[in-house]
Amino acid sequence: MGRTGWWLKLGAFMVFFAAVLAFMLAKTAVTAWTPLAERPSRPYVVFINGLLSSSDGDPYNNMGFDSIRRYLADHSTYTFTDEHFILYSYNGGQVVDGLWQPNPYSPGDTTQPLTKSVASLDEMIEQVRQHDPGAAFLLVGHSLGGRIAWDYFVKHAEDHQIGEYIIGAVTLDSPINGCGYKELEELLGDYATEITESITAVGAEGVVEELAEDYLNRSQRMVENRLSAKKLQQRGVVVATFTSKDDLIVPPYCAAITAEDGTLATEGAVLSLGYDLSSPLGHEQVLESERVARYIADLLEYDKR
Q: What tens digit of pLDDT does each residue of 241-259 get?
A: 999 998 888 999 999 999 9
- Among 63-72, 176-185, 296-305, the range with the most confident prediction by mean pLDDT is 63-72
- Among 10-24, 33-47, 152-166, the range with the most confident prediction by mean pLDDT is 152-166
Confidence of residue 32 (pLDDT cuts 50, 70, 90): very low
**Distance of alpha carbon 113 from alpha carbon 120, whole angstroms:** 11
Mean pLDDT of the 55-84 span: 96
Looking at the predicted structure, is the pLDDT value of residue 22 above 50? no
Q: Please list, in sequence order, all residues whose beta carbon lies within 8 angstroms of the beta carbon of residue 55, skipping any fewer than 6 positions away.
A: 49, 61, 62, 87, 89, 102, 104, 105
Cβ atoms of residues 291 and 262 within 8 Å: no
Residue from 253, 254, 265 nearest 228 by CA? 265
Cβ atoms of residues 105 and 90 within 8 Å: yes
Looking at the predicted structure, is the pLDDT value of residue 39 above 60? no
The residue that leads in pLDDT, 111 or 27, is 111
Q: Are strands 44-48 and 85-87 parallel, antiparallel or unpaired?
A: parallel
Mean pLDDT of the 8-34 span: 36
List of E strands, the chain:
44-48, 85-87, 93-96, 99-102, 137-142, 166-172, 238-244, 267-271
**Distance of alpha carbon 44 from alpha carbon 138, whole angstroms:** 6
Looking at the predicted structure, is the pLDDT value of residue 8 above 70? no
For residue 184, the model assigns a pLDDT of 58
Confidence of residue 186 (pLDDT cuts 50, 70, 90): low
For residue 13, the model assigns a pLDDT of 38
Q: How many CA atoms lie within 13 A of 86 on its CB side?
A: 31
Confidence of residue 201 (pLDDT cuts 50, 70, 90): low
Looking at the predicted structure, is the pLDDT value of residue 168 above 50? yes
Residue type, 52: L
**Distance of alpha carbon 87 from alpha carbon 65, whole angstroms:** 10
Q: Please list, in sequence order, all residues whose beta carbon lies within 8 angstroms of the beta carbon of residue 286, skipping any fewer than 6 positions away.
A: 142, 172, 173, 242, 243, 244, 247, 271, 273, 292
Q: What tens digit of pLDDT does each residue of 277-293 get?
A: 566 578 899 999 999 99
For residue 248, the model assigns a pLDDT of 84
For residue 28, the model assigns a pLDDT of 32
Cβ atoms of residues 243 and 173 within 8 Å: yes
Mean pLDDT of the 169-186 span: 83
Percentage of the chain beyond pLDDT 70 is: 75
Mean pLDDT of the 46-56 span: 96
**Distance of alpha carbon 46 from alpha carbon 32, whole angstroms:** 30
For residue 93, the model assigns a pLDDT of 97
For residue 279, the model assigns a pLDDT of 67
Looking at the predicted structure, is the pLDDT value of residue 228 above 90? yes
DSSP letters spanning 166-208: EEEEEEES--TT---HHHHHHHHTHHHHHHHHHHHHTTTHHHH
Provide the 10 A C-beta neighbour count for residue 103. 14
Cβ atoms of residues 284 and 278 within 8 Å: yes
Give SS3 for 22.
Answer: helix
Looking at the predicted structure, is the pLDDT value of residue 72 above 60? yes
Q: What are phi and psi of 97, to 5 degrees?
A: 50, 40
**Distance of alpha carbon 204 from alpha carbon 59, whole angstroms:** 25
Residue type, 175: P
Q: Are strands 99-102 and 93-96 parallel, antiparallel or unpaired?
A: antiparallel
**Distance of alpha carbon 271 from alpha carbon 62, whole angstroms:** 26
For the chain, list the domains and their CATH numbers. 44-302 (3.40.50.1820)
Residue type, 94: Q
The residue that leads in pLDDT, 141 or 280, is 141
Cβ atoms of residues 299 and 238 within 8 Å: yes
**Distance of alpha carbon 126 from alpha carbon 134, whole angstroms:** 12
For residue 18, the model assigns a pLDDT of 40
